[in-house]
Structure 1
Amino acid sequence: MGRMTSRAPTVGFDLDMTLIDSRPGIRAAFRALSAETGTYIDADLAVTRLGPPLEQELRHWFPEEAIPEVADRYREIYPTYAIEPTLAMPGAREAVAAVHAHGGRAVVVTAKHEPNAKLHLAHLGIEADAVIGSLWAEAKAVALREHEASVYVGDHTGDVRGARTAGALSVAVATGPCDAAELRAAGADVVLAELTDFGSWLDAYAARERG
């Protein structure tokens, strides 16, 4: 599983709570949506369970028939409220640079609306080679296979499932809603405390695979 053979690696990365700390931005966007719709949303609670598609969170607050319209509106106002406050996770730029230093490609595969994902990366200067949005859990395997990713890095058990479905090595970072024990139990091949540990791990992994 997840062998690089003699080729440079293609490494997939999740976005929210893996490459970016989007909690401040998402909190602001949910508060704006709540004010606009007159519907109570506990934004502080919502940002503790990032990872799954937006619609899953909205179902906690809106009736099913309202979800498509409300989701579209959230995505429309998102750039206004969410891009500026969002921060890069520690080690994010360095992790992508480490892949490039090995001659590889860094591909972001996320459940987030793709145009908004691209806005985040551009704003923060994180230089991915491709960005694929609106894929969650096992569905992420579609993009990972298409780009021949041998490794997928994420913070959620859904990311672990996506990596395993794609036949990629699952590297999990315990920086999101799932702790290290949950990530291991879900089948992560490697669990890192945070993304700052990724570069040294990749160096060792590349040496083993090419050795």
Structure 2
Amino acid sequence: MASASISAPTVGFDLDMTLIDSRPGIHACWVELSERTGTHVDADLVVTRLGPPLEEEMAHWFPTDRIPAMADLYRELYPAYAITGTLAMPGAREAVEAVQAAGGRAIVVTAKWQPNAELHMEHLDMAPDAVIGNLWAEQKALALREHGASIYVGDHVGDVRGARFAEALSVAVPTGPCSAGELSAAGADVVLGDLTEFPRWFSDYRPGCVPARA
């Protein structure tokens, strides 16, 4: 009797500092926002703590009652100032393609406003099977569960929480603001050096059997 085949998993990926290095573009966008509003913003500081929702960063620079309008203006400026300056992270395209080549689905689940997240994928010629935006930390579990993702890859402790809340395997890369130690302490199941290590790790992955940490 032939054994049942194991279907390839759906893998979720975070966006900022996981699939893309958005620091140059986001820096430019914040500089423009600062100039237009006359509000001092330390864009160099902003890009050291990417990951949480835009409104959380806005709270450092604007009064509470101005945040909704400033967030709308930032998102309006974003396509012109943040897309072309953003680069793919090393190994990002290969990581997405490794999942798809194995017959799985690669989805992006991000806190970024979804239309801008989609623009990044189009500009960088990356083709995930779905892009879901406006979700942070535990909220990401909503999309991961809806799409049946069994793995979530991210660079932030918030991504680890999202994976664990979704009961997905947490694969972390210390390419953003969180160190490998912080990601491990938050509960990441696997910590890779960066996404260049993902295709080999994924080729060895079997559901229910976690390969050793890199």
The residue correspondences of 1:70-109 to structure 2 (distance < 5 A) are 70-109=70-109
The alignment covers a number of residue pairs equal to 205
In 2, the alpha carbon distance for the partners of 1:9 and 1:187 equals 21
Paired residue for 2:183?
183
Question: Which ranges of 4 or more aligned residues in structure 1 deviate by more than 3 Å?
Answer: 206-209
Query: Structure 2 unaligned runs (5+)?
Result: 210-214
TM-score by length of 1: 0.95
The residue correspondences of 1:1-211 to structure 2 (distance < 5 A) are 6-206=6-206
Deviations 1:147-194 (A, max 9, x none): 000000000000000000000000000100000000000000000110
Q: Percent identity?
A: 69
1:151 aligned counterpart, secondary structure: strand
- Which one-letter code corresponds to 1:61 in the other structure? W
Deviations 1:87-116 (A, max 9, x none): 000000000010011100000000000000
Return the offset for 1:126.
1.0
- Which one-letter code corresponds to 1:179 in the other structure? S
In 1, the alpha carbon distance for the partners of 2:208 and 2:141 equals 24
- Which one-letter code corresponds to 1:43 in the other structure? A
In 1, the alpha carbon distance for the partners of 2:62 and 2:118 equals 27
- Ranked by relative contact order (alpha carbons within 8 Å, sequence separation 6 or more), the top structure is 1
In 1, the alpha carbon distance for the partners of 2:122 and 2:102 equals 22
In 2, the alpha carbon distance for the partners of 1:32 and 1:193 equals 33
In 1, the alpha carbon distance for the partners of 2:55 and 2:35 equals 18
In 2, the alpha carbon distance for the partners of 1:19 and 1:73 equals 25
TM-align CA RMSD? 1.1
In 2, the alpha carbon distance for the partners of 1:64 and 1:157 equals 26
In 1, the alpha carbon distance for the partners of 2:8 and 2:193 equals 25
In 2, the alpha carbon distance for the partners of 1:104 and 1:204 equals 14
In 1, the alpha carbon distance for the partners of 2:177 and 2:47 equals 9
In 2, the alpha carbon distance for the partners of 1:207 and 1:144 equals 16
TM-score by length of 2: 0.94
2:171 aligned counterpart, secondary structure: strand
In 2, the alpha carbon distance for the partners of 1:74 and 1:177 equals 22
Return the offset for 1:6.
1.8
Return the offset for 1:206.
3.6
2:61 aligned counterpart, secondary structure: coil
- Which one-letter code corresponds to 1:139 in the other structure? Q
In 2, the alpha carbon distance for the partners of 1:204 and 1:127 equals 23
Paired residue for 2:212?
none
